[in-house]
């Protein structure tokens, strides 16, 4: 069974305003492809009422930098109170609401379970990781944190651009 080593703290980000869900979805998948990650959608829930929509998405965004370690960023997205908004131009559909992101970054070691079958081999591998490849592990940690921060920056920039576009169209 693969071992998880959590890296950094849990990152939370909230946004209120216009949220183009389809475009945001595409932007995240495009980012993942650009940086060599694969997106696995674990959960997608939708709650509809007459006036609003609520969504919950749970994704694992993963990449294999080595044969022993997998980078994983668990991403939880909660969209609340999404309502359709009419604009003056009325050319596009806009939705206004609140969105919360939570990003958790971690390593998954020995994801192919090559070293976990024998306790002595597993112990030897842990000692090797701890004392002999510590600098490599630190470098991989920094790389994973940098990728997590890039993803968050991409999300923030995308939502801010949407806020500016909407403000411009309302003029």
Q: What per-residue confidence (pLDDT) applies to 90?
A: 57
Cβ contact 110:121 at 8 Å = no
For the range 25-33, what are the long-range contacts, defined as Cβ-Cβ under 8 Å and sequence gap of 24 or more? Answer: 27/154, 27/155, 27/158, 28/59, 28/75, 28/151, 28/154, 28/155, 31/150, 31/151, 31/154, 32/61
What pairing do the DSSP bridges indicate for beta strands 3-18 and 38-48? unpaired
The alpha carbon of residue 31 and the mean position of all alpha carbons in its chain are separated, in whole angstroms, by: 10
Q: What per-residue confidence (pLDDT) applies to 60?
A: 96
Q: What per-residue confidence (pLDDT) applies to 170?
A: 61
Number of structural domains in the chain: 1
Domain with 45, as residue range(s), is 3-170
Tokens of residue 75, six digits: 């991403």
> For residue 65, which phi and psi values (nearest 5 degrees)?
-75, -25
Tokens of residue 139, six digits: 């470098």
What is this structure's pTM?
0.83
Helix (H) or strand (E) holding 33: helix 21-34
Cβ contact 78:100 at 8 Å = yes
Return the higher-pLDDT residue of 22 and 156. 156
pLDDT (tens digit, 9 = 90+) per residue, 97-130? 999 999 999 999 877 777 767 778 778 877 877 7
Residue 1 has pLDDT above 70, yes or no: no
Cβ contact 79:21 at 8 Å = yes
pLDDT (tens digit, 9 = 90+) per residue, 43-52? 989 888 777 8
Cβ contact 70:91 at 8 Å = no
pLDDT (tens digit, 9 = 90+) per residue, 144-158? 999 999 999 999 999
């Amino acid at each position: 069974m693969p071992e998880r080593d959590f890296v950094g703290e849990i990152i939370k980000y909230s946004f209120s305003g216009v949220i183009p869900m389809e475009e945001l979805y595409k932007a995240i998948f495009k980012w993942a492809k650009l940086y060599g990650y694969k997106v696995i959608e674990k959960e997608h829930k939708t709650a509809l009422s007459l006036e609003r929509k609520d969504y919950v998405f749970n994704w694992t965004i993963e990449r294999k930098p080595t044969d022993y370690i997998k980078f994983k960023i668990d991403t939880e997205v909660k969209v609340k109170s999404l309502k359709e908004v009419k604009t003056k131009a009325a050319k596009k559909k806009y939705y206004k609401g609140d969105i919360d992101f939570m990003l958790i970054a971690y390593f998954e070691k020995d994801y192919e379970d090559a070293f976990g079958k024998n306790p002595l081999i597993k112990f030897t591998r842990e000692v090797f990781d701890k004392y002999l490849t510590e600098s490599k592990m630190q470098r991989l940690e920094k790389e994973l944190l940098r990728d997590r921060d890039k993803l968050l920056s991409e999300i923030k920039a995308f939502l801010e651009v949407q806020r500016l576009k909407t403000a411009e169209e309302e003029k």
